Amino acid sequence: MGLLRFTMDLFEGLGSEFAPPAPAPARPRRSKKKPVPPVAPPPAVVAPAAGLPDPDAPPAVPLADTLTLANFAHPQATREVVLGSARVAYEFKRGKRKTIGFLVGADGLSVRAPRWVALRDVDAAIHEKSDWILRKLTETQQRHARVEATRIEWKDGAGFPFLGEQIVMRLDPKHGFASVGGTLDPAQGDAPRVLRLAVSQNAEPSQIRDAAQAWLMRQARKLFIERLDHFAPLLGVRWEKLSLSNAATRWGSASADGSIRLNWRLIHFRLPVIDYVVAHELAHLRVMDHSHRFWETVESVVPDYDVLRQQLKDETVPRWN
Ligand SMILES: [Zn+2]
């Protein structure tokens, strides 16, 4: 096989905060065509550097009634400022740079300034950028709250989403699961379906988690194969091998030899979203880039791919730890 091309698909929405610590490194492959460059989600948002501060700008507002203020505190904060109705405690560092820089990350606001700029002028620059800073801080906080709300508790009676539907775990060691390790009860009315795991009632959370993960990965493999077999003939391609991945920033990838990698955590999402990712990777067996022709190929089997693609970006992967 002379021409072997490899495409990585880095989808936004899998932030490092709820991802396993070390993302699998991209495996370099011999290639004659240029590979599609990976587009990793940025770790933090950086504001355009502020110009020289306006010396007439008002100084930081003194702390008056902090009880009514929204609070954004960076763990390494050394200074704080009131912006509108928010108190913002920020990390402040001076360095060899020419402009004042702002960065909003998971921890909060960091401000970097040249050594020679007066603190009063730093405050003025922060006020000048206050709309941007508050918007980013609010977005980051909301995102964090959404992710926290999805944290899975590994105990009897707790649940997690499976194919977009909330299911509940029951620890049921007496059930004769043999090799399967768990079974999902059929739906009964509006009550959430019950996943019976062959784990003892006093099992450690990590044992419950491992049993649930093993079950989910089996379901993922079974479903992914079914969906690959559904879409491959429609696209006129052949897939050869499926691997399940757990990568931090990747939902899937495809290589020209017909190998497909899919992230098993997709099994948390609704089937149409999974189908979009499956069709996306199979479409790469025909078009190995993200060109207009590629998206037309995806659209031929998933007409509403654009909506589903956006939904995938908006999805929150449940927190496992
Ligand atoms: Zn792709």
Residues 169 and 310 in one domain: yes
DSSP state of 284: T
The reply to whether 33 falls in a domain is: yes
33 C-alpha to ligand 1 centroid (Å): 16
The domain boundary residue, chosen from 128, 163, 183 = 128
Ligand 1 center to residue 113 CA distance, Å?
A: 39
Q: Are residues 120 and 182 in the same domain?
A: no
98 and 239 part of one domain: no
Check residue 158 and give its pLDDT: 93
pLDDT of residue 133: 93
Could you give the CA distance from residue 221 to residue 243 in angstroms, rounded to a whole number?
A: 8
Residue 275 CA, ligand 1 centroid: distance in Å: 14
Which one, of 206, 192, 204, lies nearest residue 157 by Cα? 192
Distance 32 CA to ligand 1 centre (A): 18
Distance (angstroms) between ligand 1 centre and the Cα of 259 equals 14
Are 236 and 295 contained in the same domain? yes
Last residue of a domain, one of 74, 93, 128: 128
Q: How many Cα atoms occupy the beta-carbon half-sphere of 116 within 13 Å?
A: 5
Task: Indicate if 167 and 80 belong to the same structural domain.
Answer: no
Residue 134 lies in a domain: no
Residue 317 is predicted with a pLDDT of: 84
Dihedral sign of CA atoms 51, 52, 58, 62 in order: positive
Asked if residue 212 and residue 196 are part of one domain, the reply reads yes
Domain presence at residue 289: yes
Domain boundary among 128, 162, 185: 128
Question: pTM for the whole thing?
Answer: 0.65
Residue 19 falls within a domain, yes or no?
yes
Residue 160 forms part of a structural domain = yes
Ligand 1 centroid vs 248 CA: distance in angstroms?
16
CA of 6 to the centre of ligand 1 (A): 10
91 in a structural domain = yes
DSSP assignment of 4-51: --EEEEE-TT--GGGS-SSPPPPPP---SSPPPPP-PPPSSEEPPPB-
> Which residues 6+ apart lie within 8 Å of 321 measured at CB?
none
- Tell me, what's the pLDDT at 147? 79
Nearest CA-CA partner of 250 in 3, 16, 2, 72: 16
How much distance in Å is there from the Cα of 176 to the middle of ligand 1? Answer: 42
Distance from the alpha carbon of residue 38 to the mean position of ligand 1, in angstroms: 10
CA of 36 to the centre of ligand 1 (A): 9
Residue 279 · residue 295 · CB < 8 Å: no
- Name the H helices within 150-236: 205-235
Q: What tens-digit pLDDT sequence spans the chain (321 residues)?
A: 333 444 445 554 443 333 333 333 444 444 444 444 443 333 455 555 444 444 444 444 444 444 567 889 999 999 999 998 899 999 999 999 899 999 998 889 999 999 999 999 999 999 999 999 999 999 998 888 887 888 899 999 999 999 999 999 999 887 665 556 788 988 888 899 999 998 888 899 999 999 999 999 999 999 999 999 999 999 999 999 999 998 767 899 999 999 999 999 999 999 999 999 999 999 999 999 999 999 999 999 999 999 999 999 888 888 887
Find how far residue 62's CA is from the centre of its chain.
38
Q: What share of the chain is helix, strand, coil (3-state, %, to 5)?
A: 35, 25, 45
In a domain, 141, yes or no: no
Specify the pLDDT at position 144.
84
Mark whether 83 and 194 lie in a shared domain.
no
Q: What CATH number is associated with residue 13?
A: 3.30.2010.10
Is there a domain that residue 137 lies in? Answer: no
Domain range for 173: 6-41+152-314
Same domain? 107 vs 165: no
The CA 284 to ligand 1 mean position distance, Å, reads 7
Within 13 Å, how many C-alpha atoms sit on residue 313's CB side? 10
The tokens describing 144, both together, are 């964090």
Same domain, residue pair 188 and 271: yes
Same domain assignment for residues 118 and 156: no
How many distinct structural domains can be found in the chain?
2
- Cβ proximity of 316 and 146 under 8 Å: yes
Q: Report how far ligand 1's centroid is from the alpha carbon of 63 (Å).
A: 50
CA of 261 to the centre of ligand 1 (A): 12
Same domain for 244 and 100?
A: no
